[in-house]
Homo-oligomer: A and B are copies of this chain.
Amino acid sequence: VKTPTELTKLFNPKSIAVIGATETPRKVGRIVFEQLKGSGRKLYPVHHKELQILQEKAYQSVGDLPDAIDLAIITIAAEKAVIAAEECAQKGIPFIIIIAGGFAESGPDGRSLEERLKQIPLRYSSRILGPNSLGIFLPLEKIDTIFVEHGDKALAAGGGVACIVQSGSVGVEGLGYASNTGFGMRAFVGLGNKCDLNETDFLTYFARDPHTNCLAFYLENFEQGRQFLNLAKPIALQKPIIVLKAGSTASGTQAVASHTGKLAGSDNVVTGAFRQFGIQRVYDDEELCDASKILSALPPTRGNRVAVLTGAGGYGVMCADYIERHDARAQLQMAVLSEETKRRIKKATFEFSACHNPVDITASATDEMHAGSLAALIDDPAVDIIISISFFATPGISSRLQDLIVEQARRTFKPIIIFTEYGPFTDAHLKRFYGAGVVGYPSLSRTVRATRTLVERANILKQLRDIG
């Protein structure tokens, strides 16, 4: 059995066969083929009847294809997909993606089909992604095989997060989040039923990939749990690893069995092991995206002392409450500001500004006052992290504040995390901030949770280094 851990031909193929490509609108084979037209790769559509598909000569069978094709994407239904996969393997195509469902997740007939698929990598030198895979998406390589709408335009700029998901829908929604106000994406991989390639293969690959700076997984089960953990530990010293492991309660675990035909494993064991091996655990897709965003964009913190800056007193109070609340992820504490810092803030703002922490410069503050206070907090050695509550509703604050915050953020390694909200403008503000390298969130609880994620990352690094 050959086990090519080198997945370059999967993610950056020179030539791609699309089995089931068609001109029929809305069919999966049409959407996938159409999207790949923009990839600049040599494409080989295969359809048993159609002779030409979107200006490309079509082949009537896999056997008719030329040699040395790097990747086959099979878009036809389960039973026919198995036959096509066998033909692709015989043809020596090293990577095969199978999109169709109707395998182990769908009952006894599907299970026996999946058993046939599992034989292929054992008998040939081909590796399979899927079945029931959403496909792959790599903005940098212009490779996109995902047949559902996923906001590609916003994601086209790329980013550092490799996102590997066992559930198609979670993947699609994650892509939606990412394209909205979320993180920049290095790669998206839909694992599907994992008849062959699984999370461990992609952990290994993206750990070495120079464009990846953060690995995010949605998993319902582990194929090789122990191996995954052992591999994760040294990787976590270099790049953050986040895992959303679904199926943590009785019903959740049972639902995993229905969804993928797999056992979810004991939840307590999972939680304990994750921490020990440097993996950060999250519990839903919102958390996964929020954690990916901050861990890919910001360096680990030096400590857990947080300064809160606000022009909105009530939010300062709520933020302090959240910060001091106990949380298993990581503890935060309110920074104790120096007298010098307090003087500087009062001088930059008003004599009546509240200069304990949270720092409340009131609704009368201007852009310059907010930026001046931020500068004072950056310069205070007793502050490790700054949460800047930046609303744009009061008369003294304009969108220029965004530029001033970005300017301050660029002169320091201290994380400055933005909380901004207020209806329809929020996403636009957050996008502009992110475009300039500043991370923010549209809810207070998510802002503080992301801050904890960053401190958790620092704690993990310390723990792994201490162990050696």
Contact = CB atoms under 8 A, between A and B. Distances in A.
Contacts of A317: 167, 220, 246-247, 252, 255-256, 259
A172 interface: yes
Nearest to A109: B352
A321 B249 contact: yes
Given A260-B313, A352-B107, A363-B101, A318 B252 contact: yes
Contacts of A251: 320-321, 323-324, 334, 357-358
A384 interface: no
Contacts of A248: 321, 325
B314 A167 contact: yes
A362 to B, nearest CB: 7
A218 B317 CA distance: 12
Given A106-B352, A169-B315, A259-B317, A421 B177 contact: yes
A423 B318 contact: no
Interface stretch (A48-56, A135-143, A205-213, A279-287): A279-287
Give how many copies assemble into the complex.
2
B247 A444 contact: no
Given A179-B423, A180-B423, 13 more contacts: A26-B395, A105-B352, A166-B314, A167-B317, A170-B318, A177-B421, A249-B323, A249-B324, A251-B320, A251-B324, A251-B334, A255-B360, A259-B354
B286 A444 contact: yes
A322 interface: yes
A176 B362 CA distance: 19
Nearest to A364: B101
Contacts of A107: 351-352
Contacts of A311: 169
A149 interface: yes
A413 interface: no
A165 to B, nearest CB: 8
Contacts of A285: 315, 318, 421, 444
A391 interface: yes
Nearest to A172: B393
Contact of A421 (B173, B318, B352, B423): B173
Q: Which 6 A-B pairs have the closest CB atoms?
A: A167-B314, A169-B312, A258-B354, A259-B313, A249-B324, A176-B423
Interface residues of A, number: 81
Interface string A195-233: 000000000000000000000001010000000000000
A394 interface: yes
Interface in A379-404: 391, 393-395
A105 to B, nearest CB: 8
A205 to B, nearest CB: 23
Nearest to A427: B424
B255 A149 contact: no
Given A283-B321, A314-B259, A394 B364 contact: no
A302 B395 CA distance: 47
Contacts of A160: none
A260 B316 CA distance: 12
Nearest to A306: B251
A445 interface: yes
A151 interface: yes
Interface string A50-79: 000000000000000000000000000000
Contacts of A364: 101
Contact of A391 (B173, B283, B322, B395): B173
A456 B287 CA distance: 25
22 contacts: A26-B395, A105-B313, A148-B394, A149-B393, A151-B423, A166-B314, A169-B315, A173-B421, A176-B393, A179-B423, A180-B424, A220-B314, A249-B320, A249-B325, A251-B320, A251-B324, A255-B313, A256-B317, A258-B313, A258-B358, A283-B318, A285-B318
A281 to B, nearest CB: 12
A26 to B, nearest CB: 7
A356 interface: yes
A315 B334 CA distance: 35
